[in-house]
Amino acid sequence: MFFTRFLGRFQLAIVTLDEEDLTGILDEVEGLSADWEVLGTKLAIKSDTKDGIKQQYHSPDSMLNALLTQWLKLNYDYKRHGKPTWRKLAKAVKKINGVVFEQIVQNHGNKMCIY
């Protein structure tokens, strides 16, 4: 979903992500499977949701997939933390893996900036 918001003379373009974006997101965060729990914390996913993922899935890749699916389904306090966007994902990834962060900014920076 794409919408704009005017901030004085600037226009903020916001692209909200949903389940249809999962494959593209997984392509971007491909190297983060081992850090799926840290990413979940940074995306405001609750501990009980992460615990459920651990019980249901056994490989880091499937756990990362399940975590991002929960994020895209808004299975967290999105009213407080905001809906899924490339900007939120990039911010969450930044301290986990700088290379992946740069890749997201390079590929999706136009969807997360003020112009």
Q: Which domain holds residue 35?
A: 2-111
Provide the domain count of the chain.
1
- pLDDT over 90 percentage in the chain: 79
Residue 76: pLDDT above 80? yes
Predicted model pTM: 0.85
What SS3 class is residue 5? strand
Give how far Cα 7 sits from Cα of 4, 11, 56, Å.
Answer: 10, 6, 44
DSSP code of residue 83? -
Write the CATH number for 75. Answer: 1.10.533
Cα–Cα distance between 86 and 53 in angstroms, integer? 23
53-58 mean pLDDT: 97
Bin 102: left if φ > 0, else alpha if -120 < ψ < 50, else beta: alpha
The confidence score (pLDDT) of residue 63 equals 98
Residue 47 has pLDDT above 70, yes or no: yes
pLDDT at residue 8, as a whole number: 53
Tokens of 114: 């003020």
> In this structure, which amino acid lies at residue 6?
F
